[in-house]
Amino acid sequence: MNVSAEALYVEPTLRSARRPLAGHIARSLLLILLAGYTAFSAGPFLWLASMSLRTTSEISANHYALPSILHWEKFPAAWFGSSYGTYFLNSLEVVVAAVIVLTLIGAMAAFAFARYRFRMNRVLYFVIFSTIIFPPQITIISLFQVLVDYGLFNSLVGLTLVYIAFQLPLTVYILESFFARVPQDLFDAARMDGYSDGAIFWRVMLPIGLPAIATTVILNFILLWNEFLYAVVLIADDAKRTLPLGIQKFMGDQLEDIGMISTGMMISVIPVVILYVFFSEKLIQGMTAGAVK
Amino acid sequence: MKRAGAREDAGLRTPWLALSGFLLPALVMYAAFTAYPVARTFWNAFHKVLPNGNETWVGFANLRAILNNDPTFWKAVGNTLAWALVSPVLEVSLGLLLALALYARIPFARFFRIAWFTPVLISYVVVGILWMWIYNYDWGVANELLRLVGLDAWTRPWLGNPATALPALIFVTTWMWTGFNMVVLLAALSSLPSEVLEAAELDNCGWGRKLWFVIVPLVRPTILNLIVLSFIGKMKIFDLVWITTHGGPLWSTETVSTYVYKRAFDWSTFDLGYPSAIAAIWFVFVLAGVLILTSLLRSRERLEF
């Protein structure tokens, strides 16, 4: 009796005495581990950034030194001297055009699927949605044939059209799930006020759906900016290359010029970094949409 | 998912004109650049398709040739399946551990979250070139680190050796996608009811048990989605391989995607039918894989309750 009472009394104090120290050690270990993983995860990118400001001879002398002199002149050199400017503008043209059209027709379709009752609604939605899991090989060869038939092979317009179709399922999926959750009262009220279907879409759905639309815009921009397979099959001329193709070509031609390759890669990464700095939360939401249920 | 009031204004007539206005552009794009090409790939699979547009019916000859005597195809299938089965395990389990670390309210959580997510935003082309340098024999970080800790014997040209090339590339995709998995799992964890976790705390079960018996079952739907996503991503992987190894050395990193590309556009075989048949077979493989994975993981879920 006495013993057990003592045990009851001692144990909590022992525990509370042990906890903070063990807790601190565990926490510090955890932090070190996480910092290590962060270095692993972000390190290659920082290395790239540092090399983009160093010349190839400086890099060869020591691959891991920080830039001692910042060679900003490498950026105009890559832009004007190695046609990265052309590649960048091609990418920008294709991606911006694709994203604008994609957002518009994707939002319209999502609105129809989310807010109208009609036969085939779920069937059509499922058909479009299921394309998300298709491997691109199932369309790549025939798209090559189709674009040749339409006279759109090796043209930025053709690539833009393919990109629109390629990202359509994801866009419709993200927007539909958002649009469907908006309360019906808003639409009923708009209809009472005499809004047409088109006006309801423009003046009620789009403004309310703006957060989801912004997510798809940023997400599509980055995914298409980085796209490689369709571009490599559907574009042939150097003057029409997008950035990923341009980098690959430059790498093939100038294998040893690590400094300039880094600068070119940095040019392609900078727009993504800028978007990420301003919209990291939106982007993370977009990329994780659907994976969390 | 809540669908508050959606599609409930059935009392009104369906405004077909407006509806088709909303749907047609998307459906036309879908039909022209997705549905039609998919159908045409299946059509190609049964034909010999010459570059001048000449198509001759060959029946099942392509499919038989691929399945019966194309060792390169089977090598590519083996590599791709290995990638698609190993990657999800690595990415999701590492992602879960990191997410738990962040969930335990460590300092700088926001910073970590943003830093870990970055690799997934960079294109495979840039990632591929960077990792070719990291794996460089003479000055790459991988070998430099090994030399630093005195393991000189382990240094090797990681991507130039048939034994290590595929694992090295799997490592790259793991580096790239773990952060993504972590962020998704963190979102799932944060939406869990805190009482459940507190109850597990009070029941005094250890960390491992709590993880396996409480947390994992609760976020199982998310884990399932991530596994399927990662599986699909690796079943179609092309860019990274194309930039780094082109499928070599000795077919050791050949994937189905790179093989299809080579047969269609790289080798002068002048037949788009055969690679289309590979694509068609692989399409069925991917669909079957997704269905099997989903049903396996779902039925386990049902058994538990």
How confident is residue B268, by pLDDT bands cut at 50, 70 and 90?
Answer: confident
- Pair A113, A233 in one domain: yes
Domain-located, residue A59: no
Percent of chain A with pLDDT over 90: 40
Tens of pLDDT along B136-164? 888 888 888 888 888 888 888 889 889 99
Name which residue leads in pLDDT, B179 or A10. B179
How confident is residue A163, by pLDDT bands cut at 50, 70 and 90?
Answer: very high
Q: Which CATH number fits domain B78-267: 1.10.3720.10, 1.10.1740.10, 3.40.50.261, 3.40.50.2000?
A: 1.10.3720.10
A–B interface: beta-carbon pairs under 8 A: 284
Name which residue leads in pLDDT, B180 or A94. A94
Tens of pLDDT along A222-250? 999 999 999 999 999 989 999 999 999 98
Q: Which residues of A touch B139 (CB under 8 A)?
A: 63
CA-nearest residue of chain B to A188? B9
- Pair A47, A83 in one domain: no
How confident is residue B176, by pLDDT bands cut at 50, 70 and 90?
Answer: very high
What residue ranges do the domains of chain B occupy?
37-69+269-305, 78-267
Contact A226 B261 (CB under 8 A): no
What is the mean pLDDT of the segment spanning A190-198? 89
What is the mean pLDDT of the segment spanning B173-192? 87
Contact B279 A138 (CB under 8 A): yes
CA-nearest residue of chain B to A30? B101
- Pair A44, A89 in one domain: no
In sequence order, what are the residues at sequence separation of 6 or more whose Cβ sits closer than 8 angstroms to the Cβ of residue A169? A128, A129, A130, A131, A132
How confident is residue B301, by pLDDT bands cut at 50, 70 and 90?
Answer: low
Domain-located, residue A102: yes
Percent of chain B with pLDDT over 90: 42
CA-nearest residue of chain B to A266? B126
- Pair A47, A94 in one domain: no
Local structure of residue B266 (DSSP, 8 states): I
CA distance A182 to chain B (A): 7
Domain-located, residue A104: yes
Instruction: Return the SS3 of B40.
Output: helix
- Pair A44, A101 in one domain: no
- Pair A125, A167 in one domain: yes
- Pair A98, A218 in one domain: yes
CA–CA gap between residue B227 and residue B299 (Å, rounded): 15
CA-nearest residue of chain B to A227? B123
What is the mean pLDDT of the segment spanning B218-242? 90
Local structure of residue B122 (DSSP, 8 states): S
Dihedral angle over CA of B272, B278, B280, B283, nearest 10: -140
- What is the pLDDT, as a whole number, of residue B203? 66
**Any long-range contacts for B294-300 (C-beta under 8 Å, 24+ apart)?**
B294/B224, B294/B228, B297/B220, B297/B223, B297/B224, B297/B227, B298/B224
pTM of the model: 0.87
Work out the mean pLDDT of chain A and round it to a whole number: 85
Q: Which helix (H) or strand (E) holds B285?
A: helix B273-304
Percent of chain A with pLDDT over 70: 91
Per the structure, the count of domains in chain A is 2
- Pair A220, A267 in one domain: yes
Domain-located, residue A66: no
Query: What is the residue whose two structure tokens read 């809004």?
Result: A195
Structural domain for A242, as ranges = 74-288
- Pair A78, A210 in one domain: yes
Q: How many CB atoms lie under 10 A from the CB of residue B169? A: 25
Whether pLDDT at A4 is above 50: no
- What is the pLDDT, as a whole number, of residue A13? 38
Contact B36 A146 (CB under 8 A): yes
Whether pLDDT at B91 is above 90: yes
Contact A141 B260 (CB under 8 A): yes
